[in-house]
Amino acid sequence: MNEDPTRIIEEYLTLVREKLPDSIAEDVVSELELYMLETARDQGVDGQITFESAKKVVAQFGAPGEVADEYRFSMLPESIPEEDIPKEIAQEPIASEQQVSKDEPIIRKVGVDPTVSHISFFNKSVFLSIMWATIITAATTLIGPIWTTIWYLILIVGQVLIVVGILFVRYLDLKRNNVILWKRSYPDWSKLQIFVTLPENGLPSYGKKRIFFDIIVSFIGLLSLTPMIFFGNNPWFIVFIGIPATVLFIARILISVRKLNDERNPCEKARLEFGINLSLLTILDSSFFWLFGYHYYDFNQFSGISTFLIVVFVLLGGAFLLLEVLMEAQNLWWKTEKKVSEEQKSRKVAIRKDILRNGGILLVKLIGWIMIVDS
């Protein structure tokens, strides 16, 4: 573990930088860094920064997202939609960029601790996992109620236990590396949004490895379910499980491939992905009702092997999808900041001028041609 206390400030500034526009990020972070390091030394021991002094300085500023929003509002108010500006910030007078650069960095009023303990993160993530699993179990009522038999519920319990195990490993890793977890809560957030949101840094970020893993899981799901559509002997399974699951798996693959080839934020389609994952997990869990329930399969050699593959995939792949639902819920209210470069703006203006000029010339020529023909 890195014993350098300045790492706490560096991690904090990295999160602030990620939420700032490129045009002001460097200046703001440099200013904050100088101020925070100096203050941490003053509050440290013998002019040296300690873990306690670093944490105290960071706590003065609050969550990184809130600090970034205040700087954006002060220096680039036009970059923030009116509906996204917190009421208490909107009531304050707007400072010019020159004033902000000369004054001391913005310091939030010291109130509640903006950090979250690792055990609190683990407890809340486990609770939310159980909540989503319960919602999915209730949703299976529409196509295959697995809650009708206690043996089917073992499947749900197994998925939850796997997710809890993964979250526990994550908890140990966060604690071992002394990662700071920040509260994510804004005045304009609804109670539901605050309830389903986990602290910043708690869950792993969305990267290419996770996207590749999404694609692999979806392909395995297709290989497990598609044969039952063509060779299975239960038409209800095909209608309620096979075809819908295949369509959703293909949709997951297409979205993942698009994210690999798209430089925009991977969370842009978070609501669509959340809906797909929630629906897909509901369908997969409902498959047990049609495989082993009242409308059971007349197993032959082929369907028996396929059923075994489906059971294994629903248990393991279902746990992965449950974890995806938990992670995608963090981005349900994520908004894309559409940035248009100055070059793009100038091109658009030039194109509009060309259209008007060429259109005017064409209109004059057309009128002249009509007058010549009439004469």
The pLDDT value recorded for residue 301 is 47
Among 5-9, 18-22, 80-84, 319-323, name the one with the lowest average pLDDT: 80-84
Q: How far apart are CA 208 and CA 184, in angstroms?
A: 25
What does each C-alpha distance from 86 to 62, 82, 90, 156, 185 come to in angstroms?
Answer: 15, 9, 6, 40, 11
The pLDDT value recorded for residue 350 is 60
The pLDDT value recorded for residue 100 is 44
Q: How far apart are CA 207 and CA 62, in angstroms?
A: 26
The pLDDT value recorded for residue 229 is 65
Task: Quote the pTM value.
Answer: 0.62
- Kindly state whether residue 69 falls inside one of the protein's structural domains: yes
Q: How confident is the model over 104-111, as a mean pLDDT? A: 48
- Kindly state whether residue 236 falls inside one of the protein's structural domains: yes
Same domain, 370 and 309: no
The three-state secondary structure class of 244 is helix
Same domain, 175 and 316: yes
pLDDT of 111 over the 70 cut: no
CA 231 to chain centre: 38
Question: Who's near 135: CB < 8 A, 6+ residues apart?
Answer: none
Residue at a domain's end among 102, 124, 149:
102
Same domain, 136 and 281: yes
- Specify the number of domains making up the chain: 3
The pLDDT value recorded for residue 22 is 74
β-pair partners for 182: 115, 200
Q: How confident is the model over 334-360, as a mean pLDDT? A: 54
Question: Who's near 49: CB < 8 A, 6+ residues apart?
Answer: 5, 6, 37, 40, 41
Among 85-89, 143-147, 205-209, name the one with the lowest average pLDDT: 85-89
Same domain, 10 and 130: no
- Kindly state whether residue 109 falls inside one of the protein's structural domains: no
pLDDT of 168 over the 90 cut: yes
Q: Where in the chain does DSSP place strands (E)?
A: 115-116, 181-182
The pLDDT value recorded for residue 76 is 61
pLDDT of 203 over the 80 cut: yes
Same domain, 264 and 243: yes
In percent, how much of the chain has pLDDT > 90? 14
- Kindly state whether residue 237 falls inside one of the protein's structural domains: yes
Q: How far apart are CA 145 and CA 157, in angstroms?
A: 15
The pLDDT value recorded for residue 303 is 58
158 or 97: which leads in pLDDT: 158
* Structure tokens, 263: 């430089």
- Kindly state whether residue 319 falls inside one of the protein's structural domains: yes
Same domain, 84 and 130: no
pLDDT of 228 over the 50 cut: yes
Q: How confident is the model over 305-320, as a mean pLDDT? A: 83
The pLDDT value recorded for residue 329 is 85
Same domain, 200 and 299: yes
Same domain, 92 and 176: no
- Kindly state whether residue 325 falls inside one of the protein's structural domains: yes
Same domain, 317 and 374: no
Same domain, 74 and 123: no
pLDDT of 371 over the 60 cut: no
pLDDT of 323 over the 80 cut: yes
| Contact by Cβ (8 Å): 142, 151 | no
Same domain, 97 and 146: no
- Kindly state whether residue 80 falls inside one of the protein's structural domains: yes
The string of pLDDT tens digits covering residues 259-287 is 777 655 555 677 888 899 999 999 988 88
Q: What range defines the domain where residue 263 resides? A: 115-331
Average pLDDT in the chain: 74
- Kindly state whether residue 108 falls inside one of the protein's structural domains: no
Same domain, 32 and 144: no
